[in-house]
Amino acid sequence: MKYLQILAISALLTFSSLTVKGNLFRNFGSQFEKIYKSKQGLTEDKGSNQFTVHIIPHTHDDVGWIKTVDEFYSGSRQRDYKAGVRVVIDGMIQELLRDSKKRFSYVEMKFFSLWFYEQTHEMQDKVRKLVKDGQLEFLNGGWSMHDEACPHFEDMIENMMYGHKFLDQEFGFKPKIGWSIDPFGHSNTNARFFAEMGFDAWFFARLDYQDKDRRQNDTELEFVWRPSFDYLGKSAQIFSHTLFQHYSAPSGFNFDMYGSADPIEDNPELETYNMESRIDQFYQYVMNQRKYYKSQKNMILLFGDDFNYYNARMYFLQLDKLIYNFNKRYPNITLTYSTPSAYINAIKQENIEWTTKYDDGFPYGDDQWSYWTGYYTSRANSKDQIRRGSHVMHSSGKLYALESLIHDRDNLLQGNMSQAQNFFLDAMGVNQHHDAVTGTSRQRVADNYAWKIYKAMAKNNPVVERIIEKIANGIDSQLKSQQWKVCLLENSTYLDCPINDHINESISMAVIVFNPSTKPQNYIQIAVPHAHWEVKAFNTLKQKYEIANSSVICEDETQWNGHIMHNCQLFIESTVDAQQMGLIWLKNNFQINLQVKRQNVINGQSQISNNIESLTFLTEDSNHGQKFEINKLEYNQKYEFAFDFRYYLSSQDDISRSGAYLFRPDANFTSSFRYSKLANISLYKSDIVQQMTFVYWDDKTNQSAVGKARYLRNDPLMHWDVKINEIPLGEQGIEVTVNFWSNMDNNNTFYTDSNGLEMQKRILGYRPTWNLTDQTDNTSCNYYPIQTAIAIRDEEGNQMTIMNDKSQGGSVLEPGRIEIMQSRRTLFDDSRGMGEPLNETDQYGRGISVFNRYQVQLFNRREEKSLQRLHQVHQDDPLQYFFNFDHSLETRLDVSDIQHIRLPNSTELQSLGLPETGKIVMLYKDHMRVIIRIENIADNFDLLDAVQNVTYFNLEQYAHLLYKLANQGQDIGKKEFVNIHEVTLTLNQPQDQMIKNKFVWKTVDDSIINDKKLALDKGNQAIALEPQRIRSFIISYGPKNM
């Protein structure tokens, strides 16, 4: 449950009330009649213009939180939470069938699909009619109601896509309303996506308490949001409605069986008769809420809450009485069952001029001590697994799409691909839920979320392995094997990889390295148990294996069980082209030693470098940690640089505590403290890799960590591998940050990405649309979510960008110092609903270790271009490794049966016009049908002059090339066709139809702004790809007579 401050009801009400996911701590409903009757004229106001109150029955069904998804659905573990979604939907449907005037709005397609497929065909048809007649409206339509801070933008799209697929397939229904009533803050990316999905409007509940105060006072609770305006202009604008009282029923009128509201009794023969007083009480509420919205003809009122309508009959009976008696008593006001889309259609007719918003909705605070910024980082390892799941699903999607275009259909494999992809989309959709990826579910539920991704991978891997086998044989016709295996974890040791099963054998293994990104990768990294290897890479042009330049760095590392192990990382300098597979052959050879010699740094300076820059360790500084000098070799500029671990003590007072949702430092301390102590430094240098390892250990506090700075020979970025070991238990929670500093004046300004897309400008202690006057906590109120990057700049053209690999919180609270939260361990619950402290342990009962990878670019923008987006192309689609220990290299006299299938490479993609920041997502649709999403993640933030030309991609030629490469060079025949249809992001309608049906809202600044117009296509041979543009297509192939 989440904690919310309900704003002042009126100028005469001085009390406030806090809610936990809609259930009031203080039931002040009984005070309404008494207080409001003291206000002259209210109850006698019969002369107001006629207006309609849209009654919206709804339920908010979390896809996991206190209980698992399946437990919430089936109603298990009622001792933990009284909820059963199957019963809720059952009862709601029966009420709609009983009375055609009733309406209901439902959101979570994971739950609804479970219920729907349990029904008879007769009942399914009845439900279809309810949808067709408008009695049952689906809002949002995502598989879950995804979070907006922690997911990657691609995962947000696919969560919505999978839910919309169900709705289109079963009901022919296309949602028009976004419904983000519970996420803890709102991103520009989400607002933009909802607009691009064809939504007319979206509704949300959580707005920063100061922002909501201001909007209530100025009658701006409804407005037009214009996200990514510099790129998309008005094309992505969306009407936005801030709910008045969370997403709950009016206070005192929640008629759920577990609610506390007294029923409306209209039988005067009963002692409990209360009709007049209850109706008048409701009237006061209506008239009060009406003051804060611009429309004087229509108003929306929600009736529902978490898992409400457990007894739908009881709830609807009370609503019937409320509507009937209210309309009879106050004839100038009409209460009616309705839906959000009916409300939106009504206010469209009013021709109101709305205010606008261009910034995002982070961070969210519900009072001056309580900012919801802890969940940006909570359950860091779960966030890591979700990103890993996304990587695997997207890389597999490309292989599935390629396989689907092979003319000779493999029916069994096609069926397995469809099942595996749907299984993955289900697991990933559930994990985007606003209590999953956020880390705000209970521990046992978080474990269940992780199990879902594990099962999805287990179902996916055997299918992918079959395709890998085909492609591997096409690369090397001598290679015969069908036993390709994957590592269970990324960023790990060999213990989590297939090699661990063969540790006591004489190892000879083949490794397929798949690069699913659209840019070549020049370095391969594999975890191995030692340094004695013969390493060869297959040369596809020469059709033979060649010795590959390789080095191994071996270090002792502490494992989960506290044991010390010898972990080695093999670095191979070998290029794997875009969307291609490289083949590496490894064999034990104890006559060869690839180990890079370790040099202990005791006193004095040490240096690592590559062909682009050098990093020299200078000294340890009490303010900044380990201090360095970075020397740019190409344009002779030097920078001061520092790296450090720091920590905050968690607030544990009775005002507000740090927990899974909230990050609140101890109010007795104004800044963070240094974490652990530098114990030793090691240096490793070879011709392809150089690394400096910093080991931290404090024998008094038991705080320990490791930081590894690394250069690869021709890689322009500095890499940092950072591991924070168990945070020791004490009397107070500890929250550890990783800090990167440079001597630049960033003028209290920094930038963070929005779900992996456009960089957002942040200024300390400032909000663009209201005055941030209440800054009791100057740290947490300046924390923002980071998915891929955070950056600072100065007026001299210098910039430092830190790129990360999963959701984290971060800020720049001091000049030049970027801090990113990496690991949290709290001892108390923050009273926002989870009911547990954030105290994660591993299977041995120890606090978890958290590993992160960061890339650092410190540069002058006048001399060097930003590499943030080019790196993101790789980071979003990292190398995928497939291992084989049961293979043979046999000479084949006849290789005519070998299938040479592949995806377009970097040269081909570039020739088609794909920009260097372009990405391609591919998903299986059906045999001879593929889903293609083309994304240009370029950002004007990266450019010195902030001007970027439109690029054009030849989609038609790309479609022909895909077919040709999947069919061993055979092009589409004269009697065949290729159809290309642009669709919305969720694939549920043609893009041009969606645009045609969009309503244009009238705003106060229409005559002032310069609207950004999207570039026009030049047919399928040249589709426009401006920066930040994302476009989806369905490509179909088949005979012309089809």
Read off the pLDDT of each residue in 347-373 and give the average, rounded to a whole number.
Answer: 96
Q: How many Å apart are CA 546 and CA 689, to the nearest integer?
A: 20
pLDDT in tens, 714-740: 999 999 999 999 999 999 999 999 999
pLDDT in tens, 606-642: 999 999 999 999 999 999 999 999 999 999 899 999 9
Name the strand (E) or helix (H) holding 690: strand 689-698
pLDDT, residue 722, reads 97
pLDDT, residue 1041, reads 59
Q: In 432-571, which ranges are continuous DSSP H helix?
A: 443-475
**DSSP codes joined into one string, 738-801:** EEEEES---TTEEEEEETTEEEEEEETT-BTTB-----S-TTGGG-EEESSEEEEE-TTSEEEE
- The helix-helix angle for 109-116 and 153-171 (nearest 10°) equals 30
pLDDT, residue 173, reads 98
User: What is the CATH number assigned to the segment(s) 603-875?
Assistant: 2.70.98.30
Q: Is 351 exposed, middle or buried (0-12, 13-18, 19+ CB in 10 A)?
A: exposed
pLDDT, residue 831, reads 95
**Backbone CA torsion sign across 674, 675, 676, 679:** negative
- pLDDT confidence bin for 944, thresholds 50/70/90: confident
> Is the confidence at residue 946, as pLDDT, over 70?
no
Which residue do the tokens 């905050």 mark?
Answer: 648
Q: How many Å apart are CA 271 and CA 248, to the nearest integer?
A: 29
**CATH assignment of 3-9+17-183+186-358, given 3.40.109.10, 1.10.357.10, 3.10.310.50, 3.20.110.10?**
3.20.110.10
pLDDT, residue 494, reads 79
Q: Is 454 exposed, middle or buried (0-12, 13-18, 19+ CB in 10 A)?
A: middle
For 725-753, letters b (16+ CB in 10 Å) and e give: bbbeeeeebbbbbbbbbbebebeeebbbb
DSSP, res 814: E
Which residue do the tokens 């979570």 mark?
Answer: 108
> Is the confidence at residue 21, as pLDDT, over 80?
no
**CATH assignment of 906-1039, given 3.90.1150.10, 1.10.10.10, 2.60.40.1360, 3.40.980.10?**
2.60.40.1360
Q: SS3 sequence, 729-745?
A: CCCCCEEEEEEEEECCC
Q: How many Å apart are CA 15 and CA 24, to the nearest integer?
A: 13
Q: How many Å apart are CA 695 and CA 707, to the nearest integer?
A: 7
> Is the confidence at residue 680, as pLDDT, over 60?
yes
Quick one: CATH architecture of 380-595+878-889?
Up-down Bundle (1.20)
pLDDT, residue 543, reads 83
Q: In 405-442, which ranges are continuous DSSP H helix?
A: 411-431
Q: How many Å apart are CA 310 and CA 1030, to the nearest integer?
A: 41
Mean pLDDT of the chain: 91
> At residue 455, what are phi and psi to the nearest 5 degrees?
-65, -40
- The helix-helix angle for 153-171 and 121-132 (nearest 10°) equals 110
> Is the confidence at residue 391, as pLDDT, over 50?
yes
pLDDT, residue 886, reads 73
pLDDT cut 70: percent of the chain above it: 92
CA distances from 151 to 353, 544, 685, 753 (A): 33, 43, 37, 12
Residue with the bigger pLDDT between 27 and 188: it is 188
pLDDT in tens, 90-124: 999 999 999 999 999 999 999 999 999 999 999 99
pLDDT cut 90: percent of the chain above it: 82
pLDDT, residue 476, reads 75
Report the range of poorest mean pLDDT among 573-587, 773-787, 939-953: 939-953
CATH 2.60.40.1360, the chain: domain bounds: 906-1039
Q: How many Å apart are CA 788 and CA 152, to the nearest integer?
A: 9
> At residue 229, what are phi and psi to the nearest 5 degrees?
-65, -35
Query: How is residue 549 written in tokens?
Result: 């330049």
**Other C-beta atoms lying within 10 Å of the C-beta of residue 883:** 21
> At residue 786, what are phi and psi to the nearest 5 degrees?
-130, 125
**Backbone CA torsion sign across 724, 725, 727, 728:** negative
Nearest partner of 414 among 424, 400, 426, judged by Cα: 400
> In a 3-state reduction of DSSP, which class is residue 359?
coil
Most confident segment among 404-418, 427-441, 532-546, 969-983: 427-441
Read off the pLDDT of each residue in 835-864 and give the average, rounded to a whole number.
Answer: 95
Most confident segment among 16-25, 518-527, 551-560, 970-979: 518-527
pLDDT, residue 458, reads 93
* Upper half-sphere CA count for residue 228 (Cβ side, 13 Å): 33
Which residue do the tokens 């309580």 mark?
Answer: 370
Peptide bond before 363: cis, by omega within 30 degrees of 0? yes
> Is the confidence at residue 386, as pLDDT, over 60?
yes
Report the range of poorest mean pLDDT among 183-187, 572-576, 608-612, 890-894: 890-894
Read off the pLDDT of each residue in 676-686 and give the average, rounded to a whole number.
Answer: 96
Residue 706 neighbours by CB under 8 Å, 6+ apart: 557, 693, 694, 695, 696, 721, 722, 723, 725
Report the range of poorest mean pLDDT among 294-303, 559-568, 700-709, 772-781: 559-568
**DSSP codes joined into one string, 905-923:** -HHHHHHTT--TTEEEEEE
> Is the confidence at residue 27, as pLDDT, over 70?
no
> Is the confidence at residue 382, as pLDDT, over 90?
yes
Dihedral-angle region of residue 434 (phi above 0 means left; psi in -120 to 50 means alpha; beta otherwise) = alpha
pLDDT, residue 974, reads 77
* pTM for this entry: 0.93
pLDDT, residue 449, reads 98
Q: How many Å apart are CA 613 and CA 545, to the nearest integer?
A: 33
> Is the confidence at residue 130, as pLDDT, over 90?
yes
Read off the pLDDT of each residue in 295-309 and give the average, rounded to a whole number.
Answer: 96
Read off the pLDDT of each residue in 906-923 and give the average, rounded to a whole number.
Answer: 97
> At residue 858, what are phi and psi to the nearest 5 degrees?
-115, 115
Question: Is-contact 261 305, C-beta < 8 A?
Answer: no
CATH 3.20.110.10, the chain: domain bounds: 3-9+17-183+186-358
Amino acid residing at 964: K
pLDDT in tens, 465-481: 999 988 888 787 677 66
- pLDDT confidence bin for 155, thresholds 50/70/90: very high
CATH 1.20.1270.50, the chain: domain bounds: 380-595+878-889
CA angle 620, 624, 628 (to 5 degrees): 60
Which residue do the tokens 């740019």 mark?
Answer: 632
Query: How is residue 651 written in tokens?
Result: 């607030």
pLDDT, residue 890, reads 53
Residue 622 neighbours by CB under 8 Å, 6+ apart: 674
- pLDDT confidence bin for 552, thresholds 50/70/90: very high
CA distances from 732 to 341, 440, 546 (A): 49, 20, 57
pLDDT in tens, 176-197: 999 999 999 999 999 999 999 9
CATH 2.70.98.30, the chain: domain bounds: 603-875
